[in-house]
Amino acid sequence: MELFDALTLARLQFAFTVSFHIVFPAFTIGLASYLAVLEGLWLATGRAVFLAVFNYWKKIFALTFGMGVVSGITMSYQFGTNWSVFADKTGPVVGPLMGYEVLTAFFLEAGFLGVMLFGMQRVGRGLHFFATLMVAAGTLISAFWILSANSWMQTPAGHAVNAVGQFTAADWWAVIFNPSFPYRLVHMVLAAYLTTAFAVGAVGAFHLLRDGGNEGARIMFSMAMWMAALVAPVQVLAGDMHGLNTLAHQPAKIAAMEGHFETRSGQPLVLLGWPDMAAATTRYAIEVPRLGSLILTHDWNGEVRGLKSWQRQDWPNAPLLFFSFRLMVGMGMLMLLTGAWSLWSRWRQRLYDGRWLLRLGVLMGPSGFVAVLAGWITTEAGRQPYTVYGLLRTAQSVSPIDAQAVAGSLVAFIVVYFTVFGAGLLYIVRLMAHTPRVDEPDIDAGLPLRAAGITPALELAAQDGASGRGD
């Protein structure tokens, strides 16, 4: 069966495993910050409902974080197993960036996660809040380094090449703050916040549809809609700037995203169509004349390059980019709309009982995940046919491996990921279906009971436990 060669299989494996993986950090980056805000509000106001909502989402965070860790370890080893030539050549540049991610972020998250999940009764409120802040900081620092590494592969800078063909860092500052990094970082962190906001908002809306008076659900929905209303417009702006940065550094990617094959001044904006790479034209195109040039060059008559100005061997997959980009933008527009609608409802003091808005809120629950995946497919598939843009071809990055070895491991990954993460998704949805309570228990359910002052029998049992500890 020579249906797929080792290169194609290795690419499929990377695409599959990284797509599963990105879903978890996209959620945990946002959720960690959300938890820190909730705990901070609880400490500042003393309102028990903030602690209840904190405990509600902490359980979901624990599940998601666990899945993010185990799916992430796979990624850090896959560079060596399937992409050994890439690892050898780029290790001196990409390796230290990932090394810093481990040292500054992974240990920070892992070191304080135990205390955040299980330590409320052991360390007191102040230290516990500090642990939550450290976990949140860890997720953001992690995003910083991994996006720097990814951006360097997209827009390499600050490097040289040594005698054995390895990339080396000539200027670390230029490597880390490579041209696309600031845009990608802002775009991704905002995406993580929006993803979380819409997931939290959907859970709030779902429970409000059943009980409009549920205080926890009100807090979830209200906070989520503030985030949607304020951050979605900022994200559109950030996305636009990221796109202009891509036009400057990876114009072929933009051409594929836009379905432009011809180089023209006054490019149309193709709304929909079918980019046909064989025929080098976008079929059935529905276009707005000149708008493409206006958006990309801020000039009605600006010249925008089409794919035909590059050799075919350097083209990315145009239909894939064209549709994944539209899917992401579509989700962004729906988020913008939801946010605006929530402002209107809030102003009319109908945020919690406008049933159509609540229904839309439920439907928008997965929108962030869809947008994140579509956006990453656009930018990563758009980097092809290179791993390091313009410098190292994907075909020259792969390990000297047999197709059978990659096929075998790919099948194993697919089976395991669908089983394990399918089960995880089920448990998360189940936790989300459970109605938020004002006295939402901690993960560590044995202890809060005791702290709340309880029956003598339990008190006695607790003392027994304590005296047993001494010997």
Partner 1 sequence: MPDLAFTWAGLIAFAVLAYVLFDGFDLGIGILFPFLDTDEARDLAMNSVAPVWDGNETWLVLGGGGLMAAFPVAYAIVLTALYAPLTAMLLALIFRGVAFEFRWRAARKRPWDWAFAGGSMVATFAQGVALGALVAGIAVSDRAYVGGWWDWLTPFSLLTGVALLAGYALLGATWLVMKTHPALQHQAYRFAFVTGLGTFALVGVVSLWTPLMNPQYMARWFAWPAILYTAPVPLLVAGCAGVLFEGLARRREATPFMAALALFVLCYIGLGISFYPYIVPTSVTIWSAAAPESSLRFLLVGAGILMPLILAYTAWSYWVFRGKTDPASGYH
Q: Which of 42, 100, 129, 193 binds partner 1 (CB under 8 A)?
A: 100
265 makes contact with partner 1 (CB under 8 A): no
Stretch that binds partner 1, among 4-12, 43-51, 119-127, 388-396 (CB under 8 A): 119-127
238 makes contact with partner 1 (CB under 8 A): no
Do 303 and 293 form a contact (C-beta atoms < 8 A)? Answer: yes
Q: Which of 265, 266, 247, 248 is nearest to 257 (CA)?
A: 247
Q: Which positions from 439 through 468 interact with partner 1, judged by CB under 8 A?
A: 443-447, 450, 461-462, 465, 468
119 makes contact with partner 1 (CB under 8 A): yes
Nearer Cβ to partner 1, position 172 or 344? Answer: 172
Q: Which residues contact 344 (CB under 8 A, 6 or more apart)?
A: none
80 makes contact with partner 1 (CB under 8 A): yes
CB of 354 to partner 1, least distance (A): 33
CB of 268 to partner 1, least distance (A): 45
CB of 348 to partner 1, least distance (A): 39
Stretch that binds partner 1, among 61-69, 198-206, 284-292, 335-343 (CB under 8 A): 61-69
Report d(CA 325, CA 205) in Å as an integer.
Answer: 28
* Coil, strand or helix at 328: helix
Residue type, 191: A
CB of 346 to partner 1, least distance (A): 34
Residue labelled with tokens 């992430």: 72
Residue type, 426: L
Report d(CA 44, CA 288) in Å as an integer.
Answer: 52
Nearer Cβ to partner 1, position 272 or 415? Answer: 415
Q: 353 φ, ψ to 5°?
A: -125, 10
Do 332 and 288 form a contact (C-beta atoms < 8 A)? Answer: no
Q: Which of 8, 45, 76, 265 binds partner 1 (CB under 8 A)?
A: 76
Nearer Cβ to partner 1, position 11 or 187? Answer: 11
Q: What angle do CA 446, 469, 467 make, to 5 degrees?
A: 90
Token pair for 428 = 């998360």
Q: Which positions from 164 through 223 interact with partner 1, judged by CB under 8 A?
A: 164, 166, 168-170, 172
Instruction: Work out whether strand 281-288 and strand 269-276 pair parallel, antiparallel, or are unpaired.
Output: antiparallel
88 makes contact with partner 1 (CB under 8 A): yes
Q: Which of 12, 37, 66, 240 binds partner 1 (CB under 8 A)?
A: 66
35 makes contact with partner 1 (CB under 8 A): no
- Cβ neighbour number for residue 224 with a 10 Å cutoff: 27
Q: Which positions from 405 through 434 interact with partner 1, judged by CB under 8 A?
A: 405, 409, 412-413, 416, 420, 423-424, 427, 430-431
Nearer Cβ to partner 1, position 79 or 386? Answer: 79
19 makes contact with partner 1 (CB under 8 A): no
Report d(CA 350, CA 353) in Å as an integer.
Answer: 5
Residues that contact partner 1, how many (by CB under 8 A)? 85
Q: Which positions from 324 through 383 interact with partner 1, judged by CB under 8 A?
A: none
Nearer Cβ to partner 1, position 267 or 399? Answer: 399
Instruction: Find the distance separating the first CA and the last CA of the chain, reported in whole Å.
Output: 66
Q: Which positions from 146 through 175 interact with partner 1, judged by CB under 8 A?
A: 162, 164, 166, 168-170, 172
DSSP string, 198-264: HHHHHHHHHHHHH-TT-HHHHHHHHHHHHHHHHHHHHHHHHHHHHHHHHHHH-HHHHHHHHT--S-E
